[in-house]
Amino acid sequence: MDIARAPDSGTGETSDAPAPPDPVVPPAVPSSLGRKVRSAARWSLINTVVLRLGNFATGIVLARFALGPAEWGVYGIAQTVLLVLLSANELGVGLAIVRWEGDARRFAPTVLTLSTLSSGLLYVALFAAAPTVAGLLGSPDAANVLRVMCLCVVIDGVAQVPGGFLTREFAQGRRMIIDGLNFVLGTAVTLLLAFEGRGAMSFAWGAVVGNVVTLIGCALAAPGTLKFGWDPGQARALLRFGLPLAGASMLALAVVNVDTMVVGATLGNVALGFYVLAFNISGWPVRIISEAARRVSFAGFSRLAASPQALAQGFSRALGVVITGTVPLCVLLAGLAEPAIRLIYGSQWTPAAAALPWLMALGLIRIGSELAYDCLVAVGQRRSLFLVQGLWLVALIPVLLLAARLNGIVGVSQGHVLVAGGLVVPVFLIALHHGGIGLGRIARACAWPFLGGAVMAVIILGLQRLFGEGRLALLTIGTVALAGYAVCVLPSLDFLRGIGRQEMR
């Protein structure tokens, strides 16, 4: 099972030769760049949709026939720790492969050495601390699962260089084949072990097998990139480039996953299992739309960073596209939460439905903030990223702890939305404004989708009272609501396609 990473980066600094060059973007953006980005985006979207549908179907089978809420809770703890470790396992240096202009193969051996050493040391520390970490998070049974699943940290560290070259070259067609093999083999192992009664450990071994497949596939698709080497000057420049980004990335992952730790520690594994299911459902739009966009957005924004006007236009269009594609999914899942969960997963999982509408709102905020994060990284706003992520985490922890004790998993979901919408979104808007992207562009990108979402919500609420919650009723309601949304966003099609008058500042 593939473990998603957040592509974070920033600007680098030169050191004594032969350190990597500064990330200089050519003054004129090549005309071929747009074609590369569009082609990569199409392949990435196809890849993401196919894989997420496959993961969706796998999750249904596991939840209905093999695993209960407690096992999902243990898996949620292990997955959370893994994602936090992955956010900084290669010290941020792997992103230099994507970001810097010039011949990346010149410093790739040093990147590989740094990445492998740091991820290996991180895994050794986690192996020793696994029982303590699992106990602190309220899930002592997760210790062995942690030790197995976090082998992915080492595998991912080695795969950073070949995977980075594929991203740099917009080679999403090749990446789709690799991810497909990862899914097929990793999922096969997970299902086999789950039906043999291995519980959450089935996820762990499935993740390890899938990531080994990804490493082998990336190495074959980018031949000659798995070469170890060491140059002290390059290492110093890479660490100056990567360490701030690794810190920002760890903060970003902590923000997304601190709720799992809070729920596990305060409410127990069963409540955590319901919350993990709801959070995973809320993540469908994020994974399908945002993950596909982020596989090309950072590389694309990096190429446009030298032209503020081009960057602002590119960001506003990218935001419009991802928001337009995400809003209908979020509104449908929020409005039809309980009948959808009962129909798909079974009645034993309906307690998760109460948290889902709030988590869908959070998912929509996450999509916009992740795209803004990539844009700020591309223009070198590292200080802004630290401030935003640090502020988000500091505000979130006490709110979630209080909300969990007051209203369980629903309170945690509400606390997430309160902090993200009331505090973080305004701070991101200020940071983007300082980066040359005005509020008018952002408002234009979001206005029609938000109007369409409001119309969808009204349609869903009205038709539910009329038709009820049967399968045919859900299909009818969803179809009518999507039709209403499509009518509302029609005026924005020219903007999304880059046709028509100049975008607003």
Please write the tens of the pLDDT for every residue from 489-505. Answer: 999 888 877 665 444 44
**Amino acid 102: pLDDT:** 63
Instruction: Please report, as a single letter, which amino acid is at residue 87.
Output: S
Phi-psi region of 253 (alpha: psi -120 to 50; beta: other; left: phi over 0): alpha
For residue 238, count CB atoms less than 10 angstroms from its CB and return exposed for 0-12, middle for 13-18, buried for 19 or more. Answer: buried
Q: How confident is the model at residue 290 (pLDDT cuts 50, 70, 90)?
A: low
- Helix (H, G, I), strand (E, B), or coil: what is residue 103? coil
Q: How confident is the model at residue 385 (pLDDT cuts 50, 70, 90)?
A: confident
**Amino acid 456: pLDDT:** 96
CA distances from 48 to 45, 81, 478 (A): 5, 23, 22
Contact yes or no for 273/59 (Cβ under 8 A): no
- The mean pLDDT value for 60-80 works out to 85
Radius of gyration (C-alpha) of the chain in whole angstroms: 22
**Amino acid 252: pLDDT:** 73
As a whole number of angstroms, the distance between CA 382 and CA 10 comes to 6
As a whole number of angstroms, the distance between CA 178 and CA 374 comes to 24
Please write the tens of the pLDDT for every residue from 71-130. Answer: 888 888 888 888 778 777 766 677 677 766 667 788 889 889 988 999 999 899 999 999
**Amino acid 293: pLDDT:** 65
**Amino acid 23: pLDDT:** 42
Q: At what angle do helices 356-378 and 337-345 cross, to 10 degrees?
A: 100
Highest mean pLDDT among 272-286, 302-316, 321-335: 321-335
Please write the tens of the pLDDT for every residue from 331-350. Answer: 999 999 999 999 888 888 99
Contact yes or no for 3/160 (Cβ under 8 A): no
- The mean pLDDT value for 237-255 works out to 77
Instruction: Please report, as a single letter, which amino acid is at residue 501.
Output: R
Phi, psi of 21 (to 5 degrees): -75, 160
Phi-psi region of 199 (alpha: psi -120 to 50; beta: other; left: phi over 0): left
Of residues 436 and 271, the one with the higher pLDDT is: 271
Tokens found for residue 120:
């290996």
Show Cβ contacts of residue 241 under 8 Å, excluding neighbours closer than 6 positions: 10, 11, 12, 13, 20, 92, 93, 95, 96, 99
